[in-house]
C-alpha cells in the first residue's frame, strides 16, 4: 500500500513509497481503513526538517485521521467492521506509569504518537487500540471528522487548561493556522467578547477566514502595532488571555507585552528557536504562563459533539481535499497560506 514517508533529515526528504499492509490485529486492536487525514503544521515542519521534537526514521507521516474499521481483533467489544471512527494520536502508552494510572495518558513518558515516534496515517490502513477509537456521528463527514484532533488541541488549551474565559474578556490569538482557527472557535464558544487574530503578511487569506468564523479583529503585525489595537479594547490594560499558536519563540515576547496584569498566556505552538529575551514582564505583571499538550478521551467525545451539533463548522477551514498522490500540492498550499487546512484522501 502507498504511504507518505519521511526518510531523511534534509529539507523535503519526503516521498511516496510502497509499504506492507498491517498484520491481523492483536487482541484489543483494530485495523482502520483511512478515509481522510488532515495535514498538520507539524507535517509541514517535518517535510522541511524543521521539527523540534523527537521522531523516528523512516516514518509514515500523519496523525489526524479517521476511517472505517476493516478488521477487528479478539476482545474488541464496542466496535465492529464498518464502523466510522476517529482515532486519537496516542498510538501506544505504557498503561503502568503514574500518568496512565491517573488517566493523564497524554503525559505518559513512553507514549508513542502517530506520525512522530510510530508510523502514522498518510497511508491506506493503520492499526489502532480500541481505547483510542471514537464513533463518528452520522451527520459528520469524514473530511471534518479527520480534523477532530486539532479541535481537541484547542479545546484542551482554552477549556480544560485555561481556568476561565468570560463574556467581556479579550482573547488574542497569535497565528491564524489550523490550531489558531480552532482556538478561535473555542474562545467564541466560551463567550469572549473580543477575539483578536494576529498574523503576518503571508496570512492575508487566513486572516480573512478568521474574520469570517468569528474574529472581531484581525491584524497583520507586519503592517500595524498589535499593542495599539489591544489597548484600544476594553479597559485598555491588555488581553485577558493570549494564546500562542504560532510556534515562533519571539511570539512569547509579544505575548508578554499584550497580556494584562494577572492575565494568562497559553502556549500551544512548538518552536526550536531559543528565546533570546528575559521573562521579567511575567514577574512584573504576575502573569500565568502555561503550556498544554495533546488531549484525552473525553476531549475527543466533546469535540465530536461540537461537530455534530454544528457549533463548530470546519467548512471554511478546509481549503482543499487532495488524493494522497497530490500530497506535495496539499503541503505547499498550506505552507503558502492559501489553505488553512489541507485534507488527504488515500486511494481505496
Beta-bridged to residue 114, according to DSSP, are 118
In the prediction, which pLDDT does 247 show? 82
The CATH class for the domain spanning 2-147+317-345 reads alpha beta
Where b means 16+ CB within 10 Å and e means fewer, 243-265 reads bbbbbbbebbebbbebbbeebbb
* Planar angle of CA 241, 244, 245, nearest 5 degrees: 130
Residues (pLDDT < 70) of the chain are: 348
pTM score: 0.96
Residues present in the chain in total: 348
CA dist list (Å): 122 to 5, 38, 270, 342 = 8, 9, 22, 13
Closest C-alpha among 287, 295, 286, 308 to residue 268: 295
Closest C-alpha among 120, 121, 96, 128 to residue 110: 96
In the prediction, which pLDDT does 275 show? 84
Report the CATH number of the 154-291 domain. Answer: 3.40.50.720
Closest C-alpha among 249, 251, 252, 245 to residue 195: 245
| Burial (CB count <10 Å: 0-12, 13-18, 19+), residue 49 | middle
Is the separation of the CB atoms in 124 and 109 below 8 Å?
Answer: no
Is the preceding omega at residue 33 within 30 degrees of 0, hence cis? no
DSSP string, 201-226: GGGHHHHHHHHHTT-SEEEETTTS-H
In the chain, where the domains are located: 2-147+317-345, 154-291
Report how far residue 186's alpha carbon sits from residue 158's, in angstroms, rounded to the nearest whole number.
Answer: 6
Report how far residue 142's alpha carbon sits from residue 162's, in angstroms, rounded to the nearest whole number.
Answer: 30
Report how far residue 201's alpha carbon sits from residue 207's, in angstroms, rounded to the nearest whole number.
Answer: 10
In the prediction, which pLDDT does 303 show? 98
In the prediction, which pLDDT does 348 show? 64
Contacts of 92 (CB under 8 A, 6+ apart): 110, 111, 112, 118, 129
CA dist list (Å): 241 to 5, 146, 200 = 38, 28, 20
In the prediction, which pLDDT does 236 show? 96
Is the separation of the CB atoms in 158 and 266 below 8 Å?
Answer: yes
Amino acid at each position: 500500500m502507498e504511504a507518505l514517508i519521511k526518510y531523511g533529515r534534509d529539507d523535503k526528504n519526503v516521498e511516496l513509497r510502497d509499504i506492507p499492509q498491517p498484520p491481523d490485529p492483536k487482541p484489543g486492536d483494530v485495523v482502520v481503513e483511512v478515509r481522510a487525514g488532515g495535514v498538520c503544521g507539524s507535517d509541514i515542519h517535518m517535510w522541511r526538517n524543521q521539527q523540534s521534537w523527537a521522531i523516528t526514521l523512516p516514518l509514515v507521516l500523519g496523525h489526524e485521521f479517521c476511517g472505517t474499521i476493516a478488521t477487528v481483533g479478539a476482545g474488541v467489544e464496542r466496535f465492529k467492521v464498518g464502523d466510522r471512527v476517529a482515532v486519537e494520536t496516542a498510538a501506544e502508552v505504557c498503561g503502568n506509569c503514574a500518568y496512565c494510572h491517573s488517566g493523564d495518558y497524554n503525559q505518559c513518558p513512553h507514549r508513542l504518537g502517530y506520525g512522530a515516534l510510530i508510523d502514522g496515517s498518510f497511508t491506506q490502513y493503520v492499526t489502532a487500540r480500541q481505547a483510542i477509537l471514537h464513533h463518528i456521528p452520522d451527520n459528520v463527514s469524514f473530511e471534518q471528522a479527520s480534523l477532530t484532533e486539532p479541535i481537541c488541541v484547542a479545546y484542551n488549551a482554552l477549556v480544560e487548561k485555561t481556568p476561565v474565559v468570560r463574556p467581556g474578556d479579550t482573547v488574542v490569538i497569535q497565528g491564524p493556522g489550523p490550531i489558531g482557527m480552532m482556538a478561535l472557535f473555542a474562545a467564541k464558544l466560551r463567550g469572549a467578547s473580543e477575539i483578536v487574530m494576529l498574523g503576518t503578511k503571508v496570512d492575508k487569506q487566513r486572516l480573512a477566514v478568521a474574520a469570517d468564523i468569528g474574529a472581531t479583529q484581525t491584524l497583520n503585525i507586519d503592517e500595524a502595532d498589535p499593542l495599539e489595537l489591544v489597548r484600544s479594547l476594553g479597559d485598555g490594560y491588555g488581553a485577558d488571555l493570549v494564546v500562542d499558536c504560532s510556534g515562533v519563540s519571539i511570539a512569547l515576547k509579544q505575548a508578554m507585552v499584550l497580556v494584562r496584569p494577572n492575565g494568562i498566556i497559553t502556549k500551544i505552538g512548538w518552536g526550536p528557536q531559543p528565546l533570546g529575551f528575559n521573562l521579567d514582564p511575567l514577574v512584573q505583571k504576575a502573569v500565568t504562563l502555561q503550556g498544554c499538550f495533546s488531549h484525552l478521551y473525553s476531549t475527543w467525545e466533546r469535540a465530536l459533539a461540537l461537530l455534530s451539533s454544528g457549533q463548530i463548522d470546519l467548512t471554511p477551514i478546509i481549503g482543499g481535499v487532495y488524493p494522497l498522490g497530490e500530497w506535495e500540492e496539499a503541503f505547499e498550499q498550506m505552507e503558502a497560506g492559501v489553505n488553512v487546512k489541507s485534507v488527504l484522501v488515500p486511494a481505496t
